[in-house]
Structure 1
Amino acid sequence: MLIIPLPTTLIDFLIITNISLSLIIILVAMSTKDSLQFSIFPTLLLLVTLFRIGLNVSTIRSILSNADAGNVIDTFGNYVVGGNALVGFVVFMVIVLIQFIVITKGAERVSEVGARFTLDAMPGKQMSIDADLNAGLISDQEAKNRRERIEKEADFYGAMDGASKFVKGDAIASIVIVFISMIFGLIIGMMQMGMDLGTAATTYTVLTIGDGLVSQIPALLISTATGIIVTRASSSGNLGEDIATQLLAFPKMLYVAAATILLLGLVTPIDKWITLPIAALLAIGGYQLSKMEKKTNEQEIAATDSEEEEEDIKSPESVVSLLQIDPIEFEFGYGLIPLADTNQGGDLLDRVVMIRRQLALELGMVVPVIRIRDNIQLQPNEYTIKLKGNEVAKGELLLDHYMAMSPGVEDESIVGIETIEPAFGLPAIWISEEMKEQAELSGYTVVDPPSVVSTHLTEVIKRHAYELLGRQETKQLIDHLKETYPALVEEITPNHLSVGEIQKVLKNLLKENISIRNLPIIFETLADYGPMSKDMNLITEYVRQSLARQITKQVSTPGEPLYVITLSGSVEKKIADGIQQTEHGNFVSLDPNDSQLILQATMEETERLSQMGQMPIILCSPAVRMYVRQMLERYLPQIPILSYNELEANVEVQSVGVVNPS
C-alpha cells in the first residue's frame, strides 16, 4: 500500500476490512473482564495504526492521480455529508478534535499514570506474595503464578503508555494529511487536470473529506478501545454487565431523573412530546427496578428465615418437623437396608429417579419426591408404601432369593417359598440363586428383589396418581404450558375455568389411567366446552374423545383386532333412563336389584375374557359411559371402560361378550 498503486476495488475492500477490524477490537475491549485478557492490544494498536497509514497513502495517491478513490470514499464524501464539502470538513474536524483532545489525551494520561502506579506497587505486591508463601497460605506454584501476573501487568501498562503515543500521532497526522490533500488536490486539478477552481475545489475537497471520514471513524473506535482498556478495572463481569449492575443500582435516582426531565418539558418551551415519553420511560424503569430489588431482598430474607427455621427444627424442643406429611413414602425393615445403601451395592435411589422420569413420560405429571426411610417397627424383610401418611401397599422381600413366576405350566423341579407378586397379585415363589438358571430354562419369569420393589412402587404410583395431583401441582402444569401456549391458557383460566376445575378434569383422566401429557389437546377441548358447562365430569368425556388416538393406542395392538365386552341395548336404555340431573352434576340412580344384576353379569364376562388371555375392555355408547364407570369403578377399578367415540375409525373391534342380565 505504501509503494504500489492499488485498484479502487481493492482499496474499497481494505477500507471495509479496516472498519470491521476496528469494530472487533472495540467489542473485545468492552467484553474483557481484565486488561490482561487483551494483553496483545499495544502491539495490535501499532499494527492497525500502520495499516491505516498505509491505507491513507493508497487513497491519497488514487485521489490525487485519478480524482477517484473508490466507491466507499465516494459514498462517505457524497452520501454521508450530502456532497457538501464544508459540512464534511466540519464533521471531520469535530471527530478529529474529539479523538485528539478528549479520548487520546485522556487515554495517554491514564496509561502514563497506570504504568507509574503499577511499577511503584510492584515491590509491595512481591512482599505480600512472599509473606503469604512463608505463612503457608499459598503454594509455590500459586506464588509463581502471582509473580508472573504482576510482571505481565507492569509490561502491559508500560507498553500501553508507549502505544497511546501512536494514537496521538495518528490524530495529528490525519489533520496534516487532509490539509495537504486538499491543497495539492486544487493544484493538480487546475494545473494538470485542466479543471476550473470551483470544479477542482468541489471534487478534491469532497473526496479528501470522504477519505478523512473513512480513516477517522475506525481511528475513533480504536482510540475509544484504548481508553476502555486503560481505564478498565478488574471485575467479575464485562463492561455491559458492570454498567447494568452499577449504573442501575439505585432505582430511586431514576425517579429523580424522570422528574427533572418532566419539569423541563413543563416549564420550558421544549416539546412535551419529547420529554414526556423519556420521563415516563425513566419512571417505569425505576418502578421495575424497585420491584426487582424488593423481590431480591424478600428472597434474601426468606433464605435467612429458612436457615433460622432449619436451626429451630434441629433444636431438641422443636416438633414442627413432625407435622410434615410427605406425598409418597417408602419404608422398609432393617433387613432391606442393603437395597438403599450404596456402600453395599444398593441402587434403590437410582431406581427411584428412573421411576419418576418414566412416570413423567407416561402420566404427564411430575411425581413428588419419594421419601425413603427405614422403620424398625416393620418386620426385617417387610416394606410399606404410604401416600400422604396412609399405607396403600406393602410387601415382603428375600434379598438372597429371586422371585419366579410360572408361565402357566408348573415345573415340579422348581421349588421355593410360595408368595404373591405384590404389583399384580400373581402367584410366585422365591427361589435360590442356584435354581435361577433352571427356572429361566423352564420358562419362568425370574426377577431380582430390587426389580420387584421398583415394579410395585411404579404400579402403586400409577394407580394413585390422581391423588397426588393437587391444585399446586396443577398450577405448575398450567404455568409450564403457558410458556409455549400463552394464548390457549389465557383463554381458559381464570375467566372460564378455575385451577380447581381444571384439576378435577385432569384427576378424572388419571383415575382411569389416561396420560395428561398432551396438555395442549386437553386445554383446546377445555377452551371449546368449558364456557358451555360447569359439569367437569361431562367436560372430561369431551376431553377423552379428543384423546381418541392416544386411548386407542393405549388399549390396542397394531394389526390385531380389539376384543371388547359390550352392553346390550336394554342395559344401556335402563342406565340412560336412570340418569338424574342435579345442580351439583348428573348421576345414575337404578333399582338395587338391577344394579346387582348388571354388575354380576359384567364381572362374569370380564372373568371369562381374562381366562381367554385377553384384557377385558368394556365398550358402550358415549351417552352412558360416564355412568357405567360410576357403577363399576368400586368393583372393577382397573377395567377400561370406553365409548365408541374414544376409538379411532380404523380399529377393528370384535365383541366377544355382551352384558345382558336375564
Structure 2
Amino acid sequence: MTRSDVNGKIWSRTAKGAAMPLAILAVVMFMMVPVPAIMLDIGFVTNIMISLAVVMIALNAAKPLDFSSFPTVLLFATLLRLALNVASTRVVLVDGHTGSDAAGHVIEAFGNFMIGGDYVVGIFVFAILMIINLMVITKGAGRVSEVSARFTLDAMPGKQMAIDADLNAGLLTAEEAKLRRAEIATEADFYGSMDGASKFVKGDAVAGILILVINIVGGIILGVVSHGLDIGQAAQTYVLLAIGDALVAQVPALLLSIAAAAIVTRVKSEDDLGGQISSQFSVGKAWFPVAGILTFLGVLPGMPHMIILPAAGISWFIALKLRKASQVAAEVPAEMPVPENPAHIEWADVSDGAVLGLEIGYGLINLVDERKDAPLIGRITGIRRQLSRELGFVVPMIRVKDNLALGANQYRITIAGAVVGEDEIWPEELLALDSGDLTGTIAGRRAMDPTFGLEAVWIDTSMRSEAVVAGYTVVDPSTVVATHLNHLIVNNAAEMFGMDEAKKLLDTLKEVAPQLADGLTPQPLTLAQVTALCRLLLAEGIPLKDFRRIAEAMVAVARPDMSVDLLCEAVRQKIGSLIIQNIVPVKMPLPVITLDGELEGLLAQAMRVAGDSQHPIEPALGQRLIEQVSAAAQPLMAQARSFAIVTSPVARRALARLFKPHLPETPVLSFLEIPDGKPVEVVAVVGNESRINRVERLAA
C-alpha cells in the first residue's frame, strides 16, 4: 500500500468523522442565524433528498436491523426540518411583504404548483396531508413500534435459552452464540429506540401545525401594522408563503413517516420488501377471481368499460402466466426405475459401513424429514462440525435410519456397531429439566434426562412459559437427542478413531511440520502404534487438536522396547499442560483429590507384585477406594466444579481404569503430569482406615 493510499484512507476516515458535527452546526446555524433565501432553497432540497434516500433504504432492507441507525437518522432529519422551519419563519415574517419569492424559490414553487396560488386550497391540502400523516401513518407506526418493543423484550429470555441450548448441543460455536446474543440485544435496543423515535414524528407533525398558525397570524399582523397592507392583501401574501413553507416541510415529514412505518412493519425475510411482496403475489389462483370480478364489472351498463376491461385483461394475462410458471416448476423429469434382481446381493446389503448410527422409530420421522426443515439433521451437522474441531479429527458421518423394531418414539445410538445409548422422546412435546432451583412443579409425563440423568417432565408446548417460571430448563425433542448424541460421541471418541484417521492426522502434520512427521513414523513408531496411542489418549478425554505437540512428545519418549501403555504414560507426562488446560483455566488452581502418602506407597508395592495384570487392585480394596473417593468428590460435583484425582505415576493407570465406570468425567493424573508452575488446591485426602487394612494385605 502506497503512502498516498494511506493518506487517502486517513482523510476519508477524518471526513466521515467530521460529517455529523458539521451537520449539527448547520442545524444550529439555521435556528439561530438569519440565512439568505438561497440557503433555504439548498436546505429544503437537501431535506427532500435525505427523506427520499431514507425511504429507499427502508424499502430495500431485508429485516429491520439492516437499518439499525434509523432511529438516530429520524431524529436528525426531524431536527433539520424544524431548523429549516425556524429559518423560513424568520424570513417569511421579515421579508414576506416583498413578494411570493421572499422565502426562496422552493417555497414559491410549492405555493404556486401544488395549490395553484390559492391559499384557501393550500390550507385544505395541508390539512389533508396532516391528517394522513398524524392520524394514520404516524399513529399506526407508533402503535406497531410500541407493541414490537414490548414483545421483543418479553421474548428475550426464550431466545437466550434457545441459543444456550444450541450451544450445548454443538449446533453453534461460542463465537456464533456471542454474535446471536449481540443481535438479540441490538434488536431489543432497536425496537425500544423506534418506540421513542415515533414520538419525534408525531411531535414534528404537531409542530408543523403550530408553525403554520404562527406564520399566518404573525404575517397578517406584521403586514397590516408594520408594512401598511390591508388585511386581504396581507392574508393573500403571508398565508400563501406560510402554506408553501408548511407543504415544503410536510412532504419530507410524510416520507419519513412512511419509512418508519415500513421499517417497523417488516417481517424478517431474505428478500427486500419489493421481492417479498412480488413473491407472495405470484399466486395464479388469487388472480383468477380478480380477473373474473373485473370482467363482470366491465360489462355492466354504465361502467367505464374502457378502463375496467383493460384492467381485467391484464389480470387474466397475469393469472395465466403464473399458472403456467407453476406447472413448469412442478414438472420433475421422472427416471425409469431399474428393476431389481432378487438373486443379486451386494456387500452393502449385508454390512453397514457407518461408524456412527442413529436409529429412530416411525413416530420420529418428522424430526429428520427435509420437507419439514429436518430440525434434527441440522443439529447433527452442527455437532459433527463442533466435535471435529474439539477432538482434533473428523467425526464420521452419522447415518440416520428408521427401525421398525423400535417403538414409535424410541431412538437408538450406535458406535462401531455397538448400542451405546437409547431412550424415548415425544416429538410434539417439550422436555422440562429439573434445574435444582424449582419454585414449583408442573404436571406431565415423568422421565429422566438421557444425557445427565436429571429428573424431567415431558410437557405440552403450551406450558413452556409456565415451566420456565417454575425454574425448569425447557428443551425441544431434537435438542434432547442431539445433546445425548454429543455426550456419547465425546465419551466414545476412541471407538471412532482408526488407522485411516491416524493417517490423515500424519498427512496434515507433514504439511506443516515435515521433519517432525518423518521423525515419528514409520520409525520409531509404526502407524499401528500411533493409532493405539491416540486411542488411549482419546479414551481418557485428551483431544488430538494439538497433535503437533503430541507428536513431539511421542518422538521424545518413543523406544522400541516400550509397550503402548507405557508409551502413553510417558507421553502424558510430556503434555501435562495440555491435559490441565482442559480441566481448569490457566490462572485458576487445580482442585485435586489425593491419596494418603502411606497408602500411595502400599498401592505402588501392590502394583509391582501384580506385574502386568490389567486389574492389579484387589476387588474389595477397589470397592472401598471407589466409595471413599466418590464421597470426597460429591461436594465438588454438586458445585459443578472441575477437579482431578492425583496419584503416583505407578498407580495412575490402574486407578484410572478403576474409577472410569464410576467417575467417567473425572480425570486421573500422576504427579508428573502437573506442570511445575501450576498451583494446586488439595480439597480432599483419601486413605487411612489403617491404610485400608494395609492395602488388603498387599492385595492378598
Q: Which has the larger radius of gyration?
A: 1
Give the TM-score taking structure 1 as reference length.
0.50
